[in-house]
Amino acid sequence: MAKLQGFEFWKKTLKEACFVVAPMVDQSELAWRLLSRRHGAQLCYTPMFHAQVFVRDANYRRDNLYNEVCEEDRPLITQFCANDPEVFVQAALLAQDYCDAIDLNLGCPQMIAKRGHYGAFLQDEWGLLEKMVRLASEKLSVPITCKIRVFKEMEKTVRYAQMLEKAGCQLLTVHGRTKEQKGAMTGVASWEHIRAVRQAVNIPVFANGNIQHLSDVTRCLQETGVQGVMSAEGNLHNPALFEGRSPPVWEMAEEYLEVVRKHPPCSLSYVRAHLFKLWHHTLQIHQDLREDLAKVKTLDGLADVSKQLKQRCQEEIASGADAEKSGDLPFPHWICQPYVRPLPKEPLANGDSQASEAKKTLCQKRALEDSDETLSKNKQKKRSRNPNKNFSPEQKPKYVKCEQCGNPKGNKCVFGLCRSCCKKKAFKEVADCASHGLRFKTKA
């Protein structure tokens, strides 16, 4: 059977999906995807997977994708970050039987992506990206898609999108922010850039950015002409966003915990992170329960803290506080609603800005820290505690790599491996490793 392409792929395989849940690291796992689908999401992405680790580690493949196969969880797109065409294709080949398409992440702006040389930090290497997309398009039995960020220059963004389309990309998601727009400098996404891309390419386009309510989805579709709208943070704070509802937080929290129990295993850290997002506004008020939510180590413990938050909210409602709004929030704090990031500081009259001043101070601090002659206050404190402390990067000890995976090996490991690899080898050979505290032989 011939591989579907472009609009035919969107119509037949993705069933004309319009409401899309974004790929989110450690946040768009199976349980959350199923919850989102119950409440209007028509297409979901897996969390971003690291292609090199996916190829190398069978446990990583099993825990993150293979164990999450579910008939209800389709259509589904698997996303990878990568910077090597061969490695990317190898990872995609291992994943293609478990999803409907493979997505290349070209939009992650975080520092870890800069260090790993992937995501939005590849957007100037058009030759490499063209090769990656083209090779994947030729080798895979499912379509290849891409998620990108925009350039400041609209013309360059359009040429970027056209290059990816020509290389073989069958669907493009455009996040209307540049790679510099993150954290405190996030700001507003440019739908004008998204509209320009949509008009310039002949493949389906999804828009990402500024989506907090269903009305934003409708407006985005009208203003940009895209085929679908993707939500990340809006979905995390209100998984019923695509239904146009703002339910009580406890309703979504209880339903999510029910799905988690029905589809184990789910990492406790993922569940905790979702509850923190859902209860975000309430935890600003009941800060004692914020500590409890951070400390509990079981699913039942997390559910118990959620019940306590529900009880306190219902007590507020019973006392007549339900008619009151919480600070600047449009609804009471126990209603699912987005967290609105403050806009970046406006430039001051002298042409400077608070943000640039902060950045300037930070650069000066880093320059001071990197200086051989002058140490920062923090390093001076460390030097006072340990006069022999070494701060020179050149003289820092070089870690010896594990023979199997490349992570730092244990200094006294009997096998010369990191703890994870040592544990597997010691278990297989029924051996001890005093360095890592493993006692398989002793116990046997």
Long-range contacts of 59-65 (CB under 8 A, 24+ apart): 61/94, 61/95, 65/95, 65/98, 65/99
Q: Which H or E run includes 365?
A: helix 354-370
Q: What is the DSSP letter of 13?
A: I
- The active-site residue out of 44, 99, 108, 336 is 108
- Residue-by-residue DSSP string for 402-439: PTTTSSBPPTT-TTS--HHHHHHHHHHHT-EETTTTEE
Query: Is 108 known to be catalytic?
Result: yes
In DSSP terms, 20 is beta-bridged to 43, 230
Q: Extract the tokens encoding 202.
A: 């002949």
Of 248, 258, 398, 268, nearest to 335 by C-alpha is 248
| Helix, coil or strand: residue 215 | helix
Cα-based angle 170, 175, 176 (whole degrees, multiple of 5): 125
Of 74, 90, 73, nearest to 12 by C-alpha is 74
| Phi and psi torsions of 131, nearest 5° | -65, -40
Q: Is the dihedral of CA 387, 391, 394, 398 positive or negative?
A: positive
Q: Tell me the pairing of strands 144-149 and 43-50.
A: unpaired
Of 213, 420, 204, nearest to 336 by C-alpha is 213
Q: Extract the tokens encoding 128.
A: 């490499």
Longest dimension (CA), the chain: 75
Contact at 8 Å (CB) between 116 and 69? no
Q: Which residues contact 421 (CB under 8 A, 6 or more apart)?
A: 402, 403, 404, 405, 407, 415
- Residue given tokens 């509990």 in the structure block: 296
- Residue-by-residue DSSP string for 147-195: EEE--SSHHHHHHHHHHHHHHT---EEEESS-TT--GGG-----HHHHH
Q: Extract the tokens encoding 390.
A: 């070494």
Active site residues: 108
